[in-house]
Structure 1
Amino acid sequence: MKRILQTLAVGVFAFTSLLPDGTALANEEVTKKEQKQMTTVAHRGASGYAPENTMAAFEKSVDMKAEMLELDVQMSKDGELVVIHDTSVDRTTNGTGAVKDMTYEELLQLDAGSYFNEAFAGEKIPTLGEVLDEYRGKIGILIEIKSPSLYPGIEQKIADELVDRNMHKPNNNKIIVQSFDHDSVMTFHSLLPSIPVGVLVGYSPNGISNVQLAAFSSYADYVNPNLSMIDSDLVQRIHNQGMETYPWTVRDELSADFLLNVGVDGIITDYPDYVDPHLPDQAA
């Protein structure tokens, strides 16, 4: 599902004149800007409005009509794929400790909502399978493999979850898998080449070179950098390599408007409603 954004340029009527016999001659011109496809991605769900990476945040992203939700996947001590951003539970739950050192049952006992607001008390850390089962067909899902070096074999386990649900086959439910660990992205791509993959890129003052983009294009469909790295030149260079870009993470409307104007393909944001469905008028 993608929201279609378009801007109509000026000029329906150029002029109307009269011929000598009194009949009217209308010279009409209609110019349309190229239609622009834009995907709004709810970062860790609509995490500006509900506790990140919880079912409440994912439900809010559907309510706010985002095209995709983004989530982070790690693995419990006993091999369960769980949805949480940090490698420890300290920041977003009432517990302490590393995710990899806790069993799924131990993680399930934690409150993952109260830190955000008491109205969300009792929210749990969901499993990847729970999210896939609940939201397949309702909204696209952008899966980030978080710290895969801590979890040997996590790429295969994610692939298995998708295959078990026939979600690796082309259908109306969009799935993308991404990571900052580009070796992990390549590993996943080798397991399920039918699933589009993206490389996440953290901020670097050196930017992203054409050599790097060419290397990414050998396996990736998306290059998703920190929004502070984005300008129209980088967007064009990504497109020239046949890839798309979903920058992260938008937390204000000015940033969303800027990204829309430079032609990105999607915006990863805590606030899906900040992505204006209409590009600013570009007519002179």
Structure 2
Amino acid sequence: MCAAVYVLSTVTGYVLTSALLMKCPNLLHRRKREPFLSKHISHRGGAGENLENTMAAFKHAVDLGTDMLELDCHLTKDEQVVVSHDASLLRASGINAHISDMTYAELPPYLCKLGVTFQRECFCEGGEDKRIPLLKDVFEAFPHTPVNIDIKVNDDRLIKKVSEMVVNYDRENLTVWGNVSNKIVNKCYTENPRIPVLFSLFRVLQLLGLFYTGLLPFVPLKEQFLEIPMPSIITKIKGPDRLTRSQRLIAWLADT
């Protein structure tokens, strides 16, 4: 009986303490300053309306009033930071080569028509602007627009150059960076902890585990932004009729 009372009181105390700290986290943690708030984010610059990751796409998104531009970075052979989602040029330019094997001057333009990778049977046709831009072009054209930078490859040189560029353009308060890879996020944070970082996939899963076990209030978090694609996006890519019942159930549970 005494053991049961002890266990019950311990569990009750733990639950109440966890609930209190969940409601009032400032009792343990200093509130992080939010450099900006973004509700409308243009993925790859708004890939469903313009050729992805082009200056035309970014300008269109900003003209519409987007809160943030999301883009992807790679490093060329001559160590120029370019804005491109794929490491390979095959899908976007029709050239079977990698960005890292070519100088910036050698990079081909985008194709006139690109498939939107997150929407089934959706294509976007571009205008005159088919050039793969430099990251500095985006910074110079939109000095006051928050930018979400996806570091696409685990390359120390790329991380260092992006950090230096963010500092040189005085954008530490207008930039968030990272990747789905926890290793890349940790390298970004180590390189420049003043630039806010995203939660990696591992850290998102860890965050959920901490939340549902009541341990979240006791764990300090270095990340400041969540970027979580809803798993049901798979229905837009494959189509609901091509998914098994178990796949649909998993997507629904994950979304919920």
Give me the whole-angstrom Cα distance separating, in 2, the residues matched to 1:165 and 1:207. Answer: 32
Offset at 1:180? Answer: 1.3
> What SS class does the counterpart of residue 111 from structure 1 fall into?
coil
Structure 2 counterpart of 1:228:
231
Structure 1 counterpart of 2:135:
128
- Aligned pair partner of 1:153 in 145, 152, 157: 157
| Unmatched runs of 5 consecutive residues or more in structure 1 | 1-36, 230-247, 252-284
Q: How does 1:60-71 map to 2 (within 5 A)?
A: 60-71=60-71
Structure 2 counterpart of 1:49:
49
Give me the whole-angstrom Cα distance separating, in 2, the residues matched to 1:217 and 1:106. Answer: 45
Q: 1:206 to 1:226 in 2, by over 3 A?
A: farther
More strand by share: 1
Structure 1 counterpart of 2:166:
162
- Aligned pair partner of 2:113 in 115, 132, 135: 115
Query: Is the 8 Å Cα contact of residues 180 and 200 (structure 1) preserved in structure 2?
Result: yes
Q: How does 1:1-284 map to 2 (within 5 A)?
A: 39-107=39-107, 110-116=108-114, 119-137=126-144, 139-148=145-154, 151-168=155-172, 170=173, 174-201=174-201, 208-210=208-210, 218-228=221-231
Offset at 1:181? Answer: 1.8
- 1:37-57 deviation line (CA, Å, top 9, x unaligned): 761110000111000011111
TM-score, scaled to structure 2: 0.64
Q: 1:161 to 1:249 in 2, by over 3 A?
A: farther
In percent, how many aligned pairs have the same letter? 26
Q: 1:115 to 1:103 in 2, by over 3 A?
A: same
Q: 1:61 to 1:249 in 2, by over 3 A?
A: farther
> What SS class does the counterpart of residue 130 from structure 1 fall into?
helix
Offset at 1:157? Answer: 0.8
Give the AA of the match of 2:209.
S
> What SS class does the counterpart of residue 221 from structure 2 fall into?
coil
More moved, 187-196 vs 45-54: 187-196
Offset at 1:198? Answer: 0.2
More moved, 127-136 vs 179-188: 179-188
Give me the whole-angstrom Cα distance separating, in 1, the residues matched to 2:194 and 2:169. Answer: 14
Query: Is the 8 Å Cα contact of residues 50 and 126 (structure 2) preserved in structure 1?
Result: no
Give me the whole-angstrom Cα distance separating, in 1, the residues matched to 2:211 and 2:160. Answer: 29
Higher relative contact order (CA 8 A, sep 6+): 1
Give me the whole-angstrom Cα distance separating, in 2, the residues matched to 1:250 and 1:135. Answer: 34
TM-score, scaled to structure 1: 0.58
- 1:231-274 deviation line (CA, Å, top 9, x unaligned): xxxxxxxxxxxxxxxxx8997xxxxxxxxxxxxxxxxxxxxxxx
- 1:205-236 deviation line (CA, Å, top 9, x unaligned): 9994228996995321123222128xxxxxxx
Give the AA of the match of 2:224.
D
Aligned length: 188
Query: Is the 8 Å Cα contact of residues 197 and 221 (structure 1) preserved in structure 2?
Result: yes
> What SS class does the counterpart of residue 225 from structure 1 fall into?
coil
Offset at 1:119? Answer: 4.5
Runs of at least 4 residues of structure 1 off by over 3 A?
A: 116-119, 204-208, 211-218, 248-251
Q: 1:125 to 1:249 in 2, by over 3 A?
A: farther
More helix by share: 2
> What SS class does the counterpart of residue 69 from structure 1 fall into?
strand
Query: Is the 8 Å Cα contact of residues 182 and 201 (structure 2) preserved in structure 1?
Result: no
